[in-house]
Chains A and B, each alone.
Chain A
Amino acid sequence: MTEIVNEQMEKEKHIRGLGAMILSRTLDKKIITAQRQGRVGFYTPTMGQEAAQVGLSMALDKDDLIYEYYRDVPMMLHRGVPIEIILNQVFGNRDDLAKGRQMPSHLVARDYNFMSVPSPVATNLPLAVGTAYAKVYRKEKGIVVASFGDGSTSTPDFHAAMNMAAVFNLPILFFCENNGWAISTPVEKQTKTEIWKKADAYGMVGMKADGNNLVEMYKTAQQAVEHVRSGKGPVLLEARCYRMGPHSTSDDPTKYQTDIVLDGSEKDPIVVSQNALKAIGLVNDQLIEKVRAESQRIVNEKFDQQEKIPPPDPETIFQDVYAKETWILREEREEIL
């Protein structure tokens, strides 16, 4: 009996995963189009990385805490972050949790255990070490995930965090979303090794996953998460995926990239994952069509709705610099506003 229940739960988990991927893709396309129309200032598309992120997310629990990076919208949607939170940040409007201060794509959702995004890449990784240490110290459940791109593995922050996590045997999953590019720099010019193999040099476990296939990704992610959760130390999990869009809306990849994976083509992780799920009889075209239509309806409706929200009050510029406003800030606020 429990086996049947489990099986049913796993089925639903996969269907929900695919749903989050499709919702995220729909949102991505909407925001990119809106950016071209001047309705959004900037965006870093996430398309091509949906299966990698959602596959990992499916293996995580509610208590797990994530140091996300700027392309992690699919993971956020899958973990239940309302689309309004994402859109408010993209518009930098009055309801944005960070009061319109950050560029789009730099999301925070503390209530959903997403810890916020600084632009300088990999600077979150040493924080993951500290947070994981605190979690262990307090005997709390849950692991810490720190996600980042392939380019980010060249930084001193990556090295420091990997080394310390291994030395202190901490429950951290280092999640490298290897989309093959760091702006115009291909991963072959970034590093001479395969990324997952770097783990060995730090004395931790390294794993490689097919980040284009939701089913495969989930399986590998489960193993990685299980290792970290059981107290055996950190894991570096490298998911191979694609950057199907430009680096950002300010980037023109045709200057340096010839092999761009097109939306809906056979390498597209959504197509790959749909086919994998169809092959095991979990979804059919009819269901997929329904999910697509529903995603489009939600995205259009929420986009128009959140776009109408006015910008934050100018006073907010001076808030949250310190716990309490200093006399200097008060003077400056009075001069400027």
Chain B
Amino acid sequence: MSNMNMVQALNSTLDMKMSKDDSIILLGEDIGKDGGVFRVTDGLQAKFGPERVIDTPLVELGIVGMAIGMAVYGMKPVPEIQFQDFIYTAMDQIINQMAKIRYRTGGKITVPLVLRTPYGGGIRGGLYHSQSGESYFVHTAGLTVVTPSNPYDARGLLSASLELGDPVIFLEPKRLYRAQKMEVPDNDYKVEIGKANLVHQGDSVTIVTYGSMVPTVASAVEKNGVDADVLDLRTLSPVDIDAISASVKKTGRVVIVHEAPRTLGMGAELSAMISERMIEYLYAPILRVTGPDTPFPYRLEEYYLPNEKRIMAAVNRVLEFR
């Protein structure tokens, strides 16, 4: 066991996996000597050499394309995109190559890689250092999308992602990088892809959330003594429909919380899945607490991010609905 934050959990997992498997290669901007702008790859170039921890030119499209080319040839690359906001020039590679190669080759060629990237707000990053673009990836068939909410999950999910054999978009909530330290096992344990985590138990309402919103929701629930199931999805695609079903059939009331904008966000899909399968169990409409459908502001970001007040307003509306 070691006491660590999310950055240390990710760093130590990369270190452990690279020691065991020399097909793992890291590539990205400023990940070597500088150790990444958030220090997730700190010390790894010194340990594994510049051949395995590659500082690339400033070109996301090239980083992702190069990683795919390695993956189809038997390597396990871990490309880093410095901020998720800068991934968009690489979307052609992600959507038209990474996500489709298994399909277009009849399963003969696969893309085992883990694309790591920090996402979300809460660090005063303004329009271009705060985006939560998970929907773009979740919407793309062929991509597995994962997001940890604590150091333990970060380590277990990263390890599992590296063994999945398919491309994983590994979204790291940058606001939580250093928010919490916890005891994390030193061994190579896994947190199963596609399995949610029940972080708080109750009978009256189900709150589905993930990533940076998990601590916010958990503390709102605890402070206000809400009798809620809080589900941390951990994997956004494919979502753990069994865990959601079990909880919703018990509570009949649902609130979904995420930081990304509301329109066509995860909440829209979750809400549709739940209504399609469990409408007869529902006592109230499904409510969403999300970021608004605006770009992400700098100075006023506290108004953008869902907070306890907004979460409790939705929870109370759902609980009181008759």
Contact = CB atoms under 8 A, between A and B. Distances in A.
Interface of A: 41-42, 91-93, 100-103, 106, 118-121, 151-152, 154-157, 182-185, 189-191, 250-251, 255-256, 311-312, 314, 316-318, 321, 326, 328-329, 332-333, 335-337
Given A255-B35, A317-B300, A329-B292, 5 more contacts: A154-B59, A184-B55, A311-B299, A317-B303, A321-B293
* Residues of B contacting A: mostly: loop
B295 A156 contact: no
B292 A336 contact: yes
Classify chain B's interface size. Answer: 35 or more
Contact of A103 (B32, B125, B263): B125
B127 interface: yes
A303 B124 CA distance: 21
Interface string B238-282: 000000000000000000000000110000000000000000000
Contacts of A183: 29-30, 34, 37
Given A42-B124, A101-B295, A190 B58 contact: yes
Contacts, number: 122
A329 B292 CA distance: 7
B85 A119 contact: yes
Given A155-B59, A155-B89, A101 B297 contact: yes
Interface in B57-76: 57-59, 61-62
Interface of B: 29-30, 32-35, 37, 55, 57-59, 61-62, 85-86, 88-89, 124-129, 262-263, 292-295, 297-300, 303-304, 310, 313
A106 to B, nearest CB: 7
A317 B297 contact: yes
B293 A329 contact: yes
Contacts of B58: 121, 151-152, 154-155, 182, 185, 190
A311 B125 CA distance: 16
Contacts of B129: 103, 119
Given A120-B86, A151-B58, A189-B57, A314 B300 contact: yes
A103 B298 contact: yes
A183 B57 CA distance: 11
Given A156-B89, A184-B55, A321-B294, A332 B300 contact: no
Contact of A185 (B30, B62, B125, B295): B30
A1 B304 CA distance: 63
Nearest to A154: B57
Contacts of A101: 126-127, 295, 297-299
B133 to A, nearest CB: 13
Contacts of A41: 124, 298
Given A184-B30, A314-B303, A336-B303, A321 B59 contact: no
* Nearest 6 CB-CB pairings of A with B: A119-B128, A100-B299, A92-B299, A184-B34, A154-B57, A103-B126
Contacts of B86: 119-120
Most B C-beta atoms less than 10 A away, residue of A101, A255, A256: A101
